[in-house]
């Protein structure tokens, strides 16, 4: 079962904001609305284009799951699946038992870090519940994986096997003088949390409880959970979020370095990207870029965001309305 996810790039806009990190993540699904980077020359063009506009481009290479396409170009990277002692011909996630896996990841991340100048790199590791169940069936079927787990003292605990893999690639990233970002499942299942740097909280539920727990472990946090812009919420839903609204010390709150607005592709394609994105992203950006005391009123925010929405329309961007009304320019000359 393939859960291929391709986070093309993250946009990090730093403009003396309240939080040093803000981002918009795009997920490539079946649509063509997100730029897909295919060549190093394209990567450099994107980075240069973004730099001239004050935008930092961060790569994400999500593993051990979401990697089926990797196996097309790298033999033996993915785990062969078995029925009994017979290979089925299908493959699962990255194989954590082979030394060649880490040689490949070293070479990949070294090349990536030589091209992307930013100090951060996202290592993924998300959807552990879904992927771990998948990993368990794939990994458990493989006799070499089972032998490796016994040798390492993991028994049948596949979370430990996944943790072993994550620790190795986090250490590779550190050796390349980059700071790793991981999704929250890595924090939940990781053996050595001390090796982690930045945890991205994305799962629904009491996400601020998770933020509190991560910062209590003295790790930095990026909050994404309340800002899934593909969901059918209006702008006010996203504007009302405040990442520091949890019980914690001032030192804990300093570890919340920002937020990430996410636009996944299950419910969005080229036909509805712009109206779904705007003005939701505007609302999220104002909250993250402004002082809390200046952005705690929906009534005061409405005219600002409505004016910006009208500006987008004048520029040909089909941003949806915040409420009933119109833009002044639409009636000029009538």
Give the Cα separation of 222 and 186 in Å (integer): 14
Active-site residue, 127 included: yes
| Prediction pTM value | 0.83
Could you report the average pLDDT of every consecutive run of 10 residues in the chain (334 residues)? 34 43 45 45 87 86 87 88 89 93 95 91 73 65 94 90 91 94 87 82 94 95 92 92 93 92 83 90 89 88 94 93 87 63
* In contact, 174 and 180? CB cutoff 8 Å: yes
- Cα dihedral 15, 17, 21, 26 sign: negative
Give the Cα separation of 119 and 113 in Å (integer): 9
* In contact, 296 and 58? CB cutoff 8 Å: no
Query: Between the CA of residue 93 and those of 42, 56, 140, 172, what are the distances in Å?
Result: 28, 30, 12, 19
Give the Cα separation of 201 and 8 in Å (integer): 19
- Domains of the chain, first to last: 6-271 (3.20.20.80)
Predicted local confidence at residue 28, as pLDDT: 34
Catalytic residue among 60, 111, 127, 260: 127
Instruction: Find, among 277, 193, 284, 293, the residue nearest to 240 by Cα.
Output: 284
């Amino acid at each position: 079962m393939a859960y291929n996810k391709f986070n093309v790039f993250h946009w990090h806009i730093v403009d003396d904001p309240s939080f040093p990190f803000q981002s918009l993540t795009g997920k490539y699904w079946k649509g063509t609305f997100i730029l897909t980077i295919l060549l190093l020359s394209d990567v450099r063009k994107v980075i240069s284009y973004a730099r001239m506009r004050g935008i930092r481009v961060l790569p994400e290479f999500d593993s051990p799951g979401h990697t089926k396409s990797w196996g097309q170009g790298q033999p033996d990277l993915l785990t062969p699946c078995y029925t009994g002692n017979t290979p089925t011909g299908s493959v699962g996630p990255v194989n954590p038992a082979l030394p060649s896996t880490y040689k490949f990841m070293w070479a990949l991340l070294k090349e990536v870090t030589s091209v992307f100048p930013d100090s951060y790199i996202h290592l993924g590791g998300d959807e552990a519940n879904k992927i771990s169940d998948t990993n368990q069936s794939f990994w458990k079927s493989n006799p070499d994986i089972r032998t490796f787990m016994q040798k390492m003292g993991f028994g049948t605990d596949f979370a430990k096997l996944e943790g072993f893999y994550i620790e190795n690639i986090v250490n590779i990233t550190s050796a390349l003088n980059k700071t790793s970002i991981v999704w929250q499942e890595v924090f939940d299942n990781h053996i050595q949390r001390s090796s982690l740097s930045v945890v991205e909280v994305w799962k629904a539920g009491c996400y601020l409880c998770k933020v509190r727990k991560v910062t209590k472990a003295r790790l930095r946090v990026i909050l994404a959970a309340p800002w899934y812009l593909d969901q059918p919420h209006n702008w006010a839903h996203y504007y009302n979020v405040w990442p520091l609204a949890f019980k914690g010390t001032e030192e804990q709150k300093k570890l919340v370095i920002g937020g990430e607005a996410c636009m996944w592709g299950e419910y969005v394609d080229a036909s509805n990207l712009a109206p779904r994105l705007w003005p939701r992203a505007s609302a999220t950006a104002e909250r993250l870029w402004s002082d809390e005391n200046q952005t705690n009123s929906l009534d005061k925010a409405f005219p600002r965001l409505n004016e910006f929405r009208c500006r987008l329309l004048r520029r040909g961007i089909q941003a949806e309305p915040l409420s009933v009304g119109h833009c002044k320019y639409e009636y000029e000359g009538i």
